Amino acid sequence: MPNGNLEKWLHPKSTSETLTLAQRICIASDVASALEHLHDGCGNSIVHCDVKPSNILLDHAMTAHLTDLGIAEFLVCATEKSKNSSSLSGLRGSIGYIAPEYGMGGRASTAGDVYSFGVLLLEMLTGKRPTDEIFKEGLSLPSFVNEAFPEKIMEIVDSAILGQESEVESEPSDHRNIRCVIQLIKVALLCTVELPKHRIKMRQVAAEIAYIWQVFSN
């Protein structure tokens, strides 16, 4: 893809490759829609199992494409045999993005993809990798953000998103940007709830982000 993967844009070597808030919302929407299609639009549910920035490629228009469906293809074949379209055992993902239940022997599920997407969204909004040094001894990126939400949330948001505008409280566009960031973080925290059964569904995630984009772009 002409613009490489999302990893290099979230953690750029130069400021010329920094993503705007608008681009981040659009990319999040693209990925959410792709996962919604895998989960609900293919007859049997397909679980991606490895949602992370390096598996999201950006074309010339910065449209995001979810890639690396090798594990997902295996799940499709396995579901036909197991007659269980939404969860299978023995599959994981990438450190930092995998759902906590996978580490305890839990079965791969659409809820696991939702968790991984939530971590990805938090990374897009904070600029922090879930594998950064600060995340150890029980502290994860979701718990780090949850502790700051909502009062101190702007202290941990990636400064590249809002820049100096975040200090100009009188600007209507700045208020809009802050509201959209907070709403996106709310969605991400709903995705990363500890118990799988309490997590939001991917179709709800896609709808919420589409609504946030409407608010942002108007």
Q: Which residues are catalytic?
A: 50
- Of 69, 65, 4, give the one whose Cα is nearest residue 30: 65
Angle (nearest 5°) at CA 148 between 146 and 151? 125
Determine the Cα–Cα distance for residues 209 and 195; give it in Å rounded to an integer. 22
Residue type, 140: S
- Of 192, 170, 28, 27, give the one whose Cα is nearest residue 178: 170
Residue type, 32: A
Is the bond preceding 142 in cis, omega lying within 30 degrees of 0? Answer: no
Structure tokens that stand for 6 in this block: 């999302």
